[in-house]
Amino acid sequence: MLYRFQSRASPDFVMLEVHARQLLDIVGKSIAPQGIITVEQIPGAISALEAALSREGGNAHNHDDYAVEGHANDAEKQHVGLHQRAAPLLHMLKDSLAESKDVTWKT
């Protein structure tokens, strides 16, 4: 299943369910087929994502705290770390905060 994130301040993006659920969990939102991060909630969501990214450090491979699945050593080169997975949502949240627009998602 895919999750579509939307905001009137930023282009939409689509994410696989497993990664969307991970990011929604980090920002403290209930996992649901649709939802909203209000303008008032955005600063906390940004802080939560940035804290998770700082815990990951510069580690772009499968040793991050939020690895969704295990990878063999030869697959490490292909692993997408939390920094890459969180970037679209973090950008959308920052753009939405600057323009006072909510962020929504739906499946």
pLDDT tens by residue, 22-80: 999 999 999 999 999 999 999 999 999 999 999 887 555 544 555 555 555 555 555 67
**Contact 17/3 with Cβ under 8 angstroms?**
yes
Tokens 């991050």, residue? 64
For residue 81, the model assigns a pLDDT of 85
List of E strands, the chain: 2-7, 10-16, 34-37, 103-106
pLDDT, greater one: 63 or 85: 85
Tally the domains of the chain.
1
Distance CA 76, CA 67 (A): 12
Q: What is the pTM of this model?
A: 0.81
Whole domain around residue 47: which residue ranges? 2-106
